[in-house]
Structure 1
Amino acid sequence: MRIVASLAVVAALGAVPSLAHAAPLHAAWEKFKAGRALHHLSNDGERALSDIVTARQLVAQGKVDQAVPPLYDAQKRLEAARKAEKRYNAAESALQPAPQHPLPPTHRPVTTPTDWVPVGGEFIASDVLAPEKKAAVASANAQLKAGDSKAAAQTMQVVGEDVDFIVALAPLDQMEGAINRATVFVEGRQPKQAAEALDQALDGIVFVSQDFIETLAPTAPAPSAQPAKK
């Protein structure tokens, strides 16, 4: 009986990962979490946000004519995001804004349920991260702002430690309306009004935690139109 018991103990110990394997497993898990976090983002939404930021910078620099193409692109990409699966219908009052990114004072809350599109995200580095890993997180966030989530995921592989991820949700109808107004103002060479419309589009974004967004049910994509029967 003692031999059987000893064999059972050996088998149990063999099933427990050694400390030498714990670190690689943890790093692999963190890489998986980073990839899963970025999976929540809308490709079209990311690119639309990048276009909007570019247009805002051009308007601020007085390059009104150059702001027209990115605004046209933003309109097309927001419309594409409307047809995709990565959007969520909810009242803003049901959202839980992330404390790491509070709403700006100029934010205008949406009073009725609407579709929200994940247009971006941000990794939050903890204070205990080494300086080089904090730099990697900053680089990944810059890549996210540029709409390059694939590069951000690659950059985050060198971090391999716990980081938080928050998702930027944009109210689709409100953002589209603001971009349409900005386009009209830019075409009419009214930079002040265009800047105000673009600021309204950006101020409408609400950041939420990755854990919260995973509790939201995606809105079903609109059914494609069926051809009329002859």
Structure 2
Amino acid sequence: MRRIGGRDIVAAILIALLAGAIFTSAPLQTLQGLSLDILTALRGKVVGERRDPATSPVVVVAIDGETYETPPFKGSPTQTWTREIGRVLGSISDGGAKVIGFDVIFKNSIEQSEIPFGDAPLGARMRGFDRDYLIALRQISDNGKLVLGEILSNDHPEVPYRAQRLAVRNNVRALNVHTDADDVIRRMPLSFSIEGKPVPTMAGEL
């Protein structure tokens, strides 16, 4: 049996480092991503859907392009949508939803507007506009059914404005995702480490 010498150990370390560099390089990472895309597409073709969409326990209520063209949303800034969205959330809760993840972030309220409107800022004239929305958030949150979303960032975090956070008792979770080198999202984290402590993402919390 040949003894392993110092040169062999050094060679093994160099090979390991080289292999690691190759397999973490951008071109191979892109190929890995493409291979996952191909396998996912093939699974759908070969195996088909595992669950009938009509019996899925998850429902997506989307704000899409059609929403922006439909009254009363048409021509309205999103900050004025809160009452209608509060009604929608309430209806979803009353319809039997076990939990609701709301991933639309309202960073500001129209009540905070400092744009002059007559002899007072617009926000002062709109005081109480979000009342019904905040009440809906509180009622659903009191039943343990609601999770709001935020985007964690050192530079430009996006969080719901303070009144919303208070309404849901700070039950706000991260919407951040992992983006691969080719700008495609293929992985969903279940938690992030914040100040050394694991914090669940919205997906994990739901």
TM-score by length of 1: 0.27
Specify which structure has the higher proportion of helix.
Answer: 1
**Larger C-alpha radius of gyration, 1 or 2?**
2
